[in-house]
Structure 1
């Protein structure tokens, strides 16, 4: 269903954009790079994706969505923009969406161990949501199709991220190790030179500034959630 949503959903929206003459924004993902053999990743890198792996429905779904978007741009004259979004965090995220930042924050607030998959040495780059929004606005207001990497080049291992979460929420929090998931990328860091040059964009909010804003939101919602359970 993930692959079908990415492909059919994109196809339907491209058809609509063609009919009404709208500019189309594809929110693609850093997952198109798979488990990259290039580091950091430039937009010119074609990726290293396992097409039959457990993650491939999302990776290949987004890669196909990019193909469709460029086909409609070249073949039907649809005005398009493509953003490859790297890990993003901030207030209003789903409490249990399975993403590593929301997982760690919710677990620390609930006094649960922070779940680290594998050895925790795999890296990710985390951008605050307002930086992403500014990047998307710059992309849509500009004249360049893309794709553009939109992410924060600050790179953290999962263990380093867990440490920042502990410092922000609960220094006594513990870490629980679990087996890693299949085809989990070892490294993930955007090269944003293209966005800086053509969009005049780069992220402004470092992790240690953005994370407390997310924590305040999560703490309030988890507290209300717990109060609601107590009232039943």
Structure 2
């Protein structure tokens, strides 16, 4: 079950954190993975490691906020064969209320987290239509549906991702294109460790424990757990699922009271 053999997957931000876990999981399931990543060296290292382990992977240096770059990359990949899966995972974080969010920060979050998803959809959906279908998985967040302190711009962007998910699912039902999203709570990635180290020097262990306990289950998610859900939603076994948001949050959205 959940095999991705003979499937080609595009994964944005696929060389670190949650994206890396999805890339590795899909490669292990037999997919040919194309890593679209701003950090070209990091993407190449991940792709080389997958190939060394017997998998199939290619790295592409892409700024998802640049539509011309995205279109050129997608067209280059399509020249090798059809695309079956698009995972819109690339995103950046921001901390601040509406008063402390500058116009530049707001636009930066919008360009990557919202326009980046749009650009990839714009490039890949026509390929899916030409090939008789495909699967889109977008990375949303609990921030899309639950108010989080000091996350104004980030929550805005993830709310847009959730709504784009529903719209694409609705618009392309007849084209055999499924579109869902995942909404994680806190996931233990290098980004989290770096955030704690920068903002709470000398209090790393204490803050890690505090942030872990904001999930009712008592810990952060592991990236591999997000990868496993992504694998299911992009597999043929999930063929009856579209237009859905899947919280993977340790009870955060329903049990945090």
Tell me which of the two structures has the higher relative contact order, counting C-alpha pairs closer than 8 angstroms and 6 or more residues apart.
1
Larger Rg: 1
Q: Could you tell me the TM-score, scaled by structure 1's length?
A: 0.47
Q: Could you tell me the TM-score, scaled by structure 2's length?
A: 0.43
